[in-house]
Amino acid sequence: MNKLSRDDLWSLESYSDRRNEFRAEVMRHKKNRQVALGDNARLYFEDRKTIQYQIQEMLRIERVFDAAGIQEELDAYNPLIPDGPNLKATFMLEYDNPDERRQQLSQLIDIEKTVYILVDDSAPVYPIADEDLKREDGSKTSAVHFLRFELPNQVRAAIKNGSDIKIGVDHPNYTLTATAIALNVRDALAVDLQ
């Protein structure tokens, strides 16, 4: 997929005019790109549209309009767009209660490395996690991680041919048996691989 450039973004003024409509479009789009992993974890699969929305929102919130600032956001977020043989996702650990969240994050160190994709009889595909920066400090993990799943040729071909995608977690303190994701999500992810 093509990376975003400054030409793909709207100015702050133009985005302000389009924001409500674009936000609604992106929220509908995201419904086909997320997978609950039990009660307290979720994968949000990114693509060009979700990342464009994220960049536009960051530019709006931070009031960035200069070329250097815009390029900085593009450089930060473009690596999250799938680019051929991979799927990219934001992995979120979701605990509403702050005390429970703190306790769980201390017990879930390295959980981001234990999320896996399983297609047909292939070996599980584990992610390359948090390439941008370290997200744990030895005593706890972060609630947000960025994952890149590099998929072998036969796995990509199977997904494109309609095979189920199963996703699981095999962390000792948070185990989820690989379960098939919804067909609408599988179909959206297959598009990412083209």
150, part of any domain = yes
Q: Is the residue at 4 inside a domain? A: no
pLDDT at 84: 81
Tens digits of pLDDT across the chain (194 residues): 589 999 999 999 999 999 999 999 999 999 999 999 999 999 999 999 999 999 999 999 999 989 999 999 999 999 999 988 999 999 999 999 999 999 999 999 999 999 999 999 899 999 999 876 666 667 899 999 999 999 999 999 999 999 999 999 999 999 999 999 999 999 999 999 86
**Is 170 part of a structural domain of the chain?**
yes
Is 53 within the bounds of a domain? no
166 belongs to a structural domain: yes
DSSP, residue by residue, the chain? -PPP-GGGSPPHHHHHHHHHHHHHHHHHHHTTSEEE-SSSEEEEE--HHHHHHHHHHHHHHHT--SHHHHHHHHHHHGGGS--SSEEEEEEEE--SSHHHHHHHHHH-TTGGGSEEEEETTSPPBPPEE-SSS--B-SS-B-SEEEEEEE--HHHHHHHHTT--EEEEEEETTEEEEEEEPPHHHHHHHHHHT-
Q: Which domain holds residue 147?
A: 93-194
**Residue 141 counted as domain residue:** yes
Is 188 a domain residue?
yes
pLDDT at res. 139? 85
Residue 98 inside a domain? The answer is yes
Give how many domains the chain has, as a whole number.
Answer: 1
Q: pTM of the prediction?
A: 0.91
